[in-house]
Amino acid sequence: KDLKKRSSHQLLNLSDEVEILGYSFTIEGAPGDLRQSYNEGELISSATRNLINKVTKGKLIVIEKITGIKKGAETKFPAVVYKVI
């Protein structure tokens, strides 16, 4: 599925019952160059959208430091990795 059309819950592989507090979004740029943005809450920041829109084939996307509230408790969630094909 096209990453450009995914919601934050879909990008993070989280159910809609999780209240997203924040996450870090990192993407490969040129060799040796990593670009990163941080997102607070459930909205995908304009910086992250910009990175998603510019990603090219073969690059890795790593989403980590994912925190949210599930069943009333703050929880850390595992990182998610995408390879753009």
Provide the pLDDT confidence category of residue 63 given band limits of 50, 70 and 90: very high
Percent of the chain's residues with pLDDT above 90: 76
- pLDDT of amino acid 32: 80
pTM over 0.85: yes
What's the whole-number mean pLDDT along residues 58-85?
95
pLDDT at 1: 52
pLDDT grade, residue 50 (50/70/90)? very high
Count of other CB atoms within 10 angstroms of residue 78: 10
